[in-house]
Every structure is written in structure tokens, then in C-alpha cells.
Amino acid sequence: MNLLDRKVVTIDALDHQGRGIAHIDNFVIFVFNALVGEQVEIEIAKIKKNIVEAKVIKILKASPERIGSVCPYFKECGGCDLLHMSYQNQLFYKENKVKEIMRKFARLENVVESIVPNDNVYGYRNKVTFQVEEKVGFYGKRSHKIIEIDKCFLIPDIMNEYLSILKRAMNFSFVNQIMMRQSEYEQKMMIVFDVTKEFSNSQVPLNELSNVSVLIKREHNYEVLLGDDFLLEKVGDYIFKISPESFFQVNTKQMEKLYQIVLDHSGLSKGEKVLDLYCGTGTIGIYLSKKANDILGIEMNESAIEDAFWNKKQNCIHNINFMCGDTGSVLKEATFQPDLIVVDPPRAGLDELAISEIKRIHAPKVIYVSCDPVTLARDINRLEQDYEVMTIIPVDMFSNTYHVECVCILKYR
């Protein structure tokens, strides 16, 4: 097999990143923009040992699940993976992917519940980061080449409008990235320009931007050009402060459903103690605060911890506290004995120290919120001797991409 060869293949399955899988002789071929059961003519784009990547040249037999992509950049842009797939099929794919990963990597059957759908499959993101290098856009599929875009379908219209204002009014010399975040509650946006030291602030067309905060980020320092250096967002009954460096779920509406699932499965009935690990701005702990007696949140990012203390005060929550530091290291020194541990780590999952500390503490229940089912399965294995999986609820937070969030409920054996 050679680069640029053309072949006709049938797609047998989708991999965990939404690529079609086909086989020719001993080669496994990963095909972008193809669906299960489709017959497609492909062109070989990359060969590494017996793993091959290819792109579709012509669809010879289309799947009934194929829909015309709304986005002209879909084939090149690395932002979306499933825009060509009906939403029902996306849900089926994600739910089955979690089942398959649990079966394969954690030997678990019949624990995965029906996926919770997203009400808005377009325009749902409250945050976007544009890459800038002469062009403004997103990285291409599996590449660092920037695909220039004028409109993204996953972000609200207002962000696309600001993008076009900036593209018209600026030349983007010395800009690395542009981050936009929107608060629905405040009906306001924050724009952060990540720039090199040569950047001149006067380039930013402030008089064309309304209802925004504008910040300039040089290395790790922020300078406010307009408005506040934070946004406020409402989730459930609570208001949360979000600073530019703090993590905040990108889908505000689904975030409320996610936290409600955690609350519903917490089994809390006052009087209990909760550890909220990887707590960010304290959102999950604060959400649980009306049902618990005492909550301790642990988070490494200082800016998020400052926001968490602000959130505690502003929402008049008296039974929560926060500590700043690495989860495992803080737990090693802490004497807090919880009835429930909630963990919500980054994609990499829990490290060895965090796992051994969770085992040592042996709370009756652990709720693991995960944005990567593969690392979730790995951590379920590491906790297996002590904890049994009761149920896993997938939640679609990131429609049109292959990503899926999961809430996993574990009970001490």
C-alpha cells in the first residue's frame, strides 16, 4: 500500500475517536468522515507500520445515519468529529463506546445506563479558543495546521459576530490565541488575547465591542483593557465567579444536568461529610452543600480556589471549605473522614498517590465524574479491590465531537 493510493472499502465500525475502521489484507485503515456500513472510495493519507489513515474521496453507498454537515470546514477542521452523523446515531455511538470501553478495559457488563442527551446540539459551548498565526481558526484534524474559519457552529452567534469584528479590524500580528467565554446569566462576554510582548494594545478595536471584558495575556500576566477580569454564571440556584484561568464546564445547560445526577446519586441526607476532589471553582461541592453537613474541596489551581472562596461567600454557603494543592499530597496531610468522595479529574484521570489516598480513606461511596472513559476504566481497575461499580451514566456534553462525559457511582465493598 502506498500514499495517495485509491481503494474501495466498507466501513466495519467506528473507533473511539469517531473514525471509520476498514480492513485490507493485514492493514487497519482509519477513515475520516465515514460511517458504519458505508462503502467509500478512499485515498491513503498516512502509513505507519500496518496502520493507515485515509480520507474519503467518494461515498459509493451512504449510511441512512449520514446527514449533510452544516459546516463547510468539517472535513479539515479538528474541532468536530461527528457532524456528518444524525444526533440519534451520535448518542447510540457514545453510549456503546462507553459500554465497549468498560467491557474491554474494566471487564464490566450491564453497568452503563442510557446516555443523557444534549438539548442544544449546536451553539452550546460557552468557551472557545481560536488559534492565530496570520489566519484565525482551529487546528486541523490531527495536525497543527490552522484552518481559517469565519463561523463555528458549536459556539453562540454572538461569538461568531465578535470573531468577524476582530477579523475585520485587527491584523493579529503578535497574537497567539484568542479565548472567548460567554456568560448567559450576565449576557456578557470575556475576550482574552494571548499575545507576545511586541503586541500593541491599541490594536484591539475596543470601540466596536460592547458588553465585553477585554484582557491581554502576556505569558502568565493579565492586563484588563475593558470591564472586569471575571464573569459570573448561574447554575441551578447558585452564582459562580469564573476567572480566565479557572476551569468551568463548557456546556452550561448540560453542566446543571451533570451536577443534578451527582446530587441524585449522592445519597446525602444532611449530617454527612463530602470530599470534592479536583473541585475547580467549588461548583460540585456547592451544589451538594444543601444536602451535606461538611464539605472540603481540593484544587491545584490558585485562581480557581480564589473563585471558590468567592463563590462560597457570595452564595452564603457556610459548610464548605477549600484547600489549594495537589489532590494526593493534600489528602496525605488531611484528617477529614468523608462519607462521600466526589472526584472530577482532568482527562489523565487519577494519579497513583490520589488512588492510594482514596483507598486509605475508604469512604462508603465514591462518585467519579470523568471526561475520558478510558482513564475512568483504568482507575476503576485500580480501585477494584476496594470499590464496586454500581452504575455509569454517560452524559452528552460535547455534541458533534467524539467526547463523552460519565458519572460513575462506586460503593465500598
Ligand X SMILES: C[S@@+](CC[C@H](N)C(=O)[O-])C[C@H]1O[C@@H](n2cnc3c(N)ncnc32)[C@H](O)[C@@H]1O
Per-residue contact track with ligand X, 117 to 146, x per CB under 6 A?
------------------------------
Shortest spacing between CB 276 and ligand X, in angstroms: 7
Shortest spacing between CB 284 and ligand X, in angstroms: 5
**Burial class for 316, CB neighbours closer than 10 Å (0-12, 13-18, 19+):** exposed
Query: 77 or 395: whose CB is closer to ligand X?
Result: 395
Residues that bind ligand X (rule: CB under 6 A) add up to a total of 18
- 371 a catalytic residue: yes
CA separation for the pair 11, 50 (Å, rounded): 17
Decide if residue 238 touches ligand X (CB under 6 A).
no
Decide if residue 284 touches ligand X (CB under 6 A).
yes
Shortest spacing between CB 306 and ligand X, in angstroms: 12
**Burial class for 368, CB neighbours closer than 10 Å (0-12, 13-18, 19+):** buried
Shortest spacing between CB 189 and ligand X, in angstroms: 19
**Site for ligand X (CB under 6 A): which residue of 327, 399, 400, 401?**
327
Decide if residue 247 touches ligand X (CB under 6 A).
yes
CB nearest ligand X: which residue? 280
Of 130, 57, 407, 365, nearest to 249 by C-alpha is: 407
Given 77, 279, 371, 406, the catalytic residue:
371
Shortest spacing between CB 347 and ligand X, in angstroms: 8
**Site for ligand X (CB under 6 A): which residue of 175, 190, 279, 358?**
279
Residue span binding ligand X (CB under 6 A) among the ranges 42-50, 90-98, 246-254, 400-408: 246-254
Decide if residue 300 touches ligand X (CB under 6 A).
yes
Decide if residue 249 touches ligand X (CB under 6 A).
yes
Decide if residue 280 touches ligand X (CB under 6 A).
yes
Query: 167 or 290: whose CB is closer to ligand X?
Result: 290
- Contact positions toward ligand X, by CB under 6 A? 247-249, 278-280, 283-284, 298-301, 304, 326-327, 344-346
